[in-house]
Amino acid sequence: MRNVAPVFVDIVKRVRGVCLVDAYRPPQIGEGGDFFNTVDYMTYQNKLFLAGSFVDASDGGTFEVTNPRDGSVITAVASATEDDIKKAFDAACEAQPAWAKTSPRHRADILRRAYEEIMERKDEIAELMTLELGRALPDSQGESVYGAEFFRWFAAEAERMSGDYRLAPTGNARIVEVQQPVGPVLAITPWNFPLAMGTRKLGPALAAGCTVVLKPASKTPLTMLLLAEILDHAGLDKGVVSILPCSSSALEPLYSDPRLRKLTFTGSTAVGKELATKVPTARVSLELGGNAPFVVLSDADLDTAVEATATAKMRGAGQVCIAANRFIVHRDLRADFVAQVTESLKGTEYGPLSGDDQVEKVTELVDDALAQGATLVWQDEVPETGSWFPLTILDNVPTTARMYKEEIFGPVVAVYEAASDEDAIAMANDTNFGLAGYLFSANLQHALDSAERMEVGMVGVNKGGISDAAAPFGGVKDSGLGREGGFQGIEEFLERKLMSLPAPAAK
């Protein structure tokens, strides 16, 4: 993070003109002082990035962005109107033909330059994410690198798109397949990964040759606006990307626009299903809710499972779609697992929840589990101000508890006992969700057999981390459609066109 003195802030305001740069002295966050104490001021964008320029909303409207650690207001951000969104989408549609015709190398170079600037500014980006999201700084530092990787990965994929050429089995035609961009994209990102959810959608879309209008979450728009600045610095063609903080209702006219060719959404299952019905003529990819099982089989190495718990559960204070939700442990290991996890997680650094609404939901789920007989093993202490929920460890949670079926999205370790390994897998699959799961067994054959039976899109086997820009990310059942990342990620933004040619001439 660069140290920006007040005089420099004033100079930036005058020279850049189109973007408002505010000075903000970050508070000391948490007793551990997990903020950069040497940084006095921060700069950030709080205007719309509309077709390549930072501008006010057409009606001058704004909304406040707050720090959930203490409820303080960070800034007021421009709120796009329907007219702003129409203007941005018109620009995207106008830019689409020329952008699609650019060379793969041109698109790759832009993404690569953007990757390099993210890495150069990774500390600044991490601090900004911690400021608006409130989470522990190490989590934000990890996301800075993780989010950058999607631009590096898809910069390479832009140059490796392939088609097909073959003779029809009957011998009467040549079959030629070419890949072309689907067209203008609407991307909607969630608040819990302010950088990575944007790069995971923008990377493949831009690599494929698609223009994009992106709506960031209202809770965390600042990181996406900083990413817009980075893309602009990287030489992105005007009109190709617009990043527009706005209310969900402002997007309504866009859903029925026949020029919209692709919707990519990450968020709740209910909202995702509703959006899919609004765009019947557009391709849709959805990354939705989860209810991840963390399965500890009878032959698991307990130390490995305990160590993995921190990664699988505590990133973002549990506010991660692939966070372990149900710790399903074989009865022979349950007591030792609970005791070791409790000691392991004490002193864990984590941040607040995204807002008081989330605190209320997690509180309801924990109260319900306790009322139904769950045992409170341990609960942390947290600050009285801000949207905090304490790290909570529950044992003997009954399967009738709401949290068995509902995503917790908070720092709650809920342990369920499985009578056998068969029961553990059955419990893991006893949900309408199927995004991610975790499985622990010291026997490789047993682990693979069991992982293949889990009804999820991704399984971490003997590890608590899953996500990788080079791997496909997505779920089954009510957890979504399509895949992001990996070789498959760019396919979501490409159409295959058949060109049928005459057969070879007879000799």
Calculate the average pLDDT of the chain. 91
Tell me what the mean pLDDT of segment 58-75 comes to: 95
pLDDT band at 36 (very low <50, low <70, confident <90, very high): very low
Confidence of residue 42 (pLDDT cuts 50, 70, 90): low
Q: Is the pLDDT at 315 greater than 50, yes or no?
A: yes
Each residue of 46-76: b (16+ CB within 10 Å) or e?
A: bbbbbbbebbbbbeebbeebbbbbeeeebbe
DSSP states along 230-299: HHHHTTPPTTSEEE--B-GGGGHHHHT-TT--EEEEES-HHHHHHHHHH-TTSEEEEE----EEEEE-TT
Task: Please compute the mean of the pLDDT values over residues 329-358 and round it to a whole number.
Answer: 96
Residue 114 pLDDT exceeds 70? yes
Amino acid at 62: T
| Burial (0-12, 13-18, 19+ Cβ within 10 Å), 223 | buried
The rounded percent of the chain whose pLDDT value lies above 90 is 89
Count Cβ atoms within 10 A of the Cβ of residue 202 and give its class: 0-12 exposed, 13-18 middle, 19 or more buried.
buried
Please say if the pLDDT value at position 12 is more than 90.
no
Q: Which residue has the tokens 């809770």?
A: 219
Helix (H) or strand (E) holding 38: none
Q: Tokens 């609970």, residue?
A: 338
Lowest mean pLDDT among 35-44, 277-286, 383-392: 35-44
Active site residues: 287
Q: Are 84 and 57 in contact (CB under 8 A)?
A: yes
- Position 494, amino acid: L
Q: Stretch 464-489: mean pLDDT, rounded?
A: 96
Q: How is residue 295 written in tokens? A: 């399965």
Amino acid identity, position 327: F
Is the confidence at residue 15, as pLDDT, over 50?
Answer: no
Mean pLDDT over 245-253 rounds to: 96
Q: What's the pLDDT at 255?
A: 96
Q: How far apart are CA 333 and CA 340, in angstroms?
A: 11
**Tens digit of each residue's pLDDT (9 = 90 or more) over 159-172:** 999 999 999 999 99
CB atoms within 10 A of CB 502: 8
Angle, CA 16 vertex, CA 151 and CA 85 arms, to 5°: 60
**What does the pLDDT look like over 347-375, one tens digit per residue?**
999 999 999 999 999 999 999 999 999 99
Query: 423-458 pLDDT, tens per residue?
Result: 999 999 999 999 999 999 999 999 999 999 999 999
Residue 365's pLDDT is what?
98
Q: How far apart are CA 311 and CA 309, in angstroms?
A: 5
Q: pLDDT class for 262, splitting at 50, 70, 90?
A: very high
Residue 156 identity (one-letter amino acid): A
How does pLDDT run across 197-212, given as a tens digit for each residue?
A: 999 999 999 999 999 9
pTM for the whole structure:
0.90
